[in-house]
Chains A and B, each alone.
Chain A
C-alpha cells in the first residue's frame, strides 16, 4: 500500500486529554500514560481525525476548510508526515 492509500483514524476520542498551555497544547494519552507537549498543527490534525478512516488527502480538505494552508502539494506532504509521526506515538492509527 502506498502512503496515499493509507487511511488514518482515532479509536476513541476519550483516550486523550488535551489542555492548552501558553500557546502550546498538552496531551495526556490515557492508554500509555505518556504526556506530550505539542505545537500547532498537531492539535488541529487530531481534531480532524475521527473514528472513520480517511486518507490524508480528505483530511487536508477538511483542514483547508478551517485553516489557510499554502501550497497544496507541500501541505499534503507535511500532513502525511505529521500523521505518520502521530501513528508512531500511538496518538493516531492507520491501516
Chain B
C-alpha cells in the first residue's frame, strides 16, 4: 500500500499499510521507541490494511475499512479521523484471531520482583486503567489488553502495545503522567467512546521481550465498594477460557497450560472505587501472595 510500517510489539510483528499518510505517521510517532522498519521485504506475522470503505471514500468523507489476514466481515467502517484507533483495532484483531504461539488471554499484566500480576475482566472492569496506573508506580507494564501465556513454561510474555485509554481513564492518566508527549491525540465520540493512547513507560518497551512467571490473578471490578474475595480454581478456569480468544484453537496445549495456571496462581476478585484505593489493596495482596 502507499504508506506502510513494520512494527514489533513483544513477540509479534505487524505490517500496517494505509491508503492515507495520517494513521501511519501517528503510529510512527507513538511507537517511536519500538523496533520499526519501512523495508518492503521485512517479515511480519500479520498484515493490517486501512483501506477506503468505498469508491471515492479516500477523499470524500473518508472512511476506513480494517482489512488484513483476519477480519470481521460485518465490521462497520470508521471515520478517517479515527484512523489511529482503526490501526490499533486491526492489530488487536489479528492477534485475537490469528495468534497461536501462546495462549492469548484478554487481560492486562504488570510485573514486579520478577513476578507477574495478571488482571482479567470485562470491558469497563478497570483492568486496563489499573495496569496503566501501576505501570507509572513502580511496576513494569507488560500489556493492557492481552496476556500471552507460554504453553511450555507457564510464563507470561509482554505485549506492551499503546495503552488504550477510554473516557474517564484519559483524565486519570493525564493527572498521573506529567508528559503530554506520551499521549496520542484525543479521538472523541469513536464507536468505543472517547479514546486517547498512552505510550508505555520506557522500561515496558525496552524489556518487552522479557517474560516472567505469574504470581497472582485478579478479577478487578471498578465502581464498587472495596472488597476482596477468593475465586475458586474452577471459576477462574471458566472465566479464563471465556477470556481467551484462542483457547479452542490451541487445543490440548491450551487446556494443560490453563489448568497449570489456575492451580498454581491464586485468584482474587477485587472490587474498588478509585485507582488509589486499588493500588493500596493490590500492594497488600501482592505482599501476601507474591512477597
- Name A residues whose Cβ lies closer than 8 Å to a Cβ of B: 17, 19, 21-24, 26, 28, 30, 33, 35, 37
Contacts and interface: CB of A to CB of B under 8 A. Distances in A.
Contacts of A21: 233-234, 237, 259, 262-263
14 contacts: A17-B252, A17-B255, A21-B233, A21-B234, A21-B263, A22-B232, A22-B234, A24-B234, A26-B255, A28-B252, A28-B255, A33-B248, A35-B247, A37-B234
B237 A37 contact: yes
Contacts of A24: 234
B103 to A, nearest CB: 13
Contacts of A17: 252, 255-256
B241 A35 contact: yes
A30 B237 contact: no
Nearest to B248: A33
Nearest to B241: A35
B251 interface: yes
Contacts of B233: 21-22
A38 to B, nearest CB: 10
A48 to B, nearest CB: 23
Interface-centre pick from B234, B238, B251 (highest chain A CB count, 10 A): B234
A22 B264 CA distance: 12
Nearest to A25: B234
Nearest to B262: A21
A26 B240 CA distance: 14
Contacts of B237: 21, 26, 37
B238 A26 contact: no
Contacts of A26: 237, 255, 259
A33 B251 contact: yes
A79 B22 CA distance: 66
Interface string B215-236: 0000000000000000011100
A37 B251 CA distance: 16
Contacts of A23: 234
Interface in B256-276: 256, 259, 262-263
Given A19-B259, A22-B233, A37 B238 contact: yes
Nearest to B260: A19
A24 B233 CA distance: 9
